[in-house]
Structure 1
């Protein structure tokens, strides 16, 4: 049978209130009494009922986290930042994978809210009106993590995706490249797709370089789509001297496709991307990329959420963290 707080109190010869104070780390308990209670807990194998405690305090000390793809190392790094700060502030995490599908995202959000989480961190792609409706009807704070809604109405932590892409393409332009292709994500994705494409386009236009339709391919963020896009570029009558990829994983696919064709990176084709996943420094040649601080995005998101949950003052609810170019071996001057 389930061991209850009453069983522990009887075993230790104290009141249930005393057991409750010990379990909740109340300092107003004598050391010898605390020792007796802990010994009784160990003998009986008692585990506090988190649901009952949550009902009594109206807090579960639990935060729900919606993650688009748990197998993607980018989101794993964000989750690590979230968990470290959550542990610091004594919150538990419920992590849910949404496969970046709208219906599943909203279903998971509602499920987490039904479980009485104290707050919610949402990582995803497009934040639609349906998402916003689910967030705004929630009775707990919600923070968008590594994404933002178009009208900036929700608390969020992210980078300037357009600015990151602009800087990456300008790096190639400064090296003398003018035939620059892009492997983009879906343009329905406001960050990794549309915003990064807009940064690519703006960099070319400001440098007086024409944006050519045959130099833009849409990928799905995966290695294989990067390979397919690079093969397409290399089949063009005028092939690019450089490729900008919206993500590192697609960039690594592009590097391997170039090498499979008997060409060299960066001697024949330079490659640059955004993210700075661990594989970026493992691939050969090592990948030049714009690093977004994924751990910091997770950590800052969780810290912002703790402030909102505790009703602390928040100076800035839309946080944009800095990015930086990590120069490695996959780019070089074309002149």
Structure 2
């Protein structure tokens, strides 16, 4: 049978109110009484009913986190940042994988809100009007994490994806490359897709390099799509001398396809990525990339959410963290 607070009170010889105060870390309990209650809890194997406590306090000390791809190392790093700050502020997290599919994202958001979470962190793709409607009807704070809405109406933490792409492509241009192909994410994705595509175009424009439609292929952020796009570029009569990929995973796919065809990176074709995932330093040659501070994005997002949940004074609800260009071995000077 389930052990109740009444059983603990009887075992310890105290009132149920005293047991409640001990469980909730109320300081107004004598050390000797606190010791008796904890000993009774241990003997009986009592576990406080989180649902009942949530109903009484109107708080569950639980945060819902919507993540696009739980198998992606980058999002795992964001989740680590979230978890560490959540633990520091005594919150538990419920992590839900949504595969960057709108219908699943909406369903997961609503499910988490129905679970009476105290707040919600959303990592996803395109923030549509349907997403915004779910956020607007939420009775708890919502913070966007590593993504942003089109009108910047929601609290959120991210990097400047357009500037990160611009800086990455500028490295290729500074190394003398004029024929630069891009493996883009879907252009419906405002951050990893369209913003990085825009940054690529603006870097070319600033350098006076004509934009070529045939030098852009759209991938799905995955390794296989990087290989497929690179296979296309290698088939061109006037092929690129450098490739900018919107994610490291696609960049690594491109490197392997180049090597499969008996060519060398960076001697024959240079490759630049974005993210600075763990795989970027494992691949050979090591991948040059624009690094996102993934852990910091998660940590800052969670800290912002704790402030909003606790109705603290918040002067800033939009944070754009700095990216960094990491020069490794995959980019060479074009003679």
TM-score by shorter chain over 0.5:
yes
SS in 2 for 1:271: strand
Alignment of 1:130-145 (within 5 A): 130-145=130-145
SS in 2 for 1:319: strand
Aligned to 2:100: 100
Gaps of 5+ in 2: none
| Alignment size in residue pairs | 335
Alignment of 1:49-64 (within 5 A): 49-64=49-64
Note if 1:247 corresponds to 2:218.
no
Cα deviation for residue 185 of structure 1 reads: 0.5
Note if 1:37 corresponds to 2:40.
no
Gaps of 5+ in 1: none
Cα deviation for residue 259 of structure 1 reads: 0.3
**After the TM superposition, which segments of 4 or more aligned residues of structure 1 sit over 3 Å from their partners?**
none
Write the deviation string for residues 160-216 of structure 1: whole angstroms up to 9, x where unpaired: 000000000001001100000000001001111100000000100111111111110
CA distance in 1, matches of 2:16, 2:312: 33
Aligned to 1:190: 190
Write the deviation string for residues 268-295 of structure 1: whole angstroms up to 9, x where unpaired: 0000010000000000000000000000
Aligned to 1:168: 168
CA distance in 2, matches of 1:25, 1:332: 60
CA distance in 2, matches of 1:246, 1:240: 16
CA distance in 1, matches of 2:75, 2:221: 13
Cα deviation for residue 244 of structure 1 reads: 0.1
Note if 1:315 corresponds to 2:315.
yes
Aligned to 1:230: 230
SS in 2 for 1:273: strand
Cα deviation for residue 316 of structure 1 reads: 1.2
Write the deviation string for residues 124-170 of structure 1: whole angstroms up to 9, x where unpaired: 00000000000010000000000000000000100000000000000
CA distance in 2, matches of 1:332, 1:302: 39
SS in 2 for 1:60: coil
CA distance in 2, matches of 1:144, 1:320: 12
Note if 1:125 corresponds to 2:128.
no
Could you tell me the TM-score, scaled by structure 2's length? 0.99
Write the deviation string for residues 75-125 of structure 1: whole angstroms up to 9, x where unpaired: 000000000000000000000001111011011000000010000000000
SS in 1 for 2:158: strand
Note if 1:154 corresponds to 2:154.
yes
SS in 2 for 1:157: strand
Could you tell me the TM-score, scaled by structure 1's length? 0.99
SS in 2 for 1:265: coil
Cα deviation for residue 314 of structure 1 reads: 1.2
CA distance in 1, matches of 2:81, 2:182: 30
Cα deviation for residue 46 of structure 1 reads: 0.3
Q: How big is the alpha-carbon RMSD for the aligned residues of Structure 1 and Structure 2?
A: 0.6
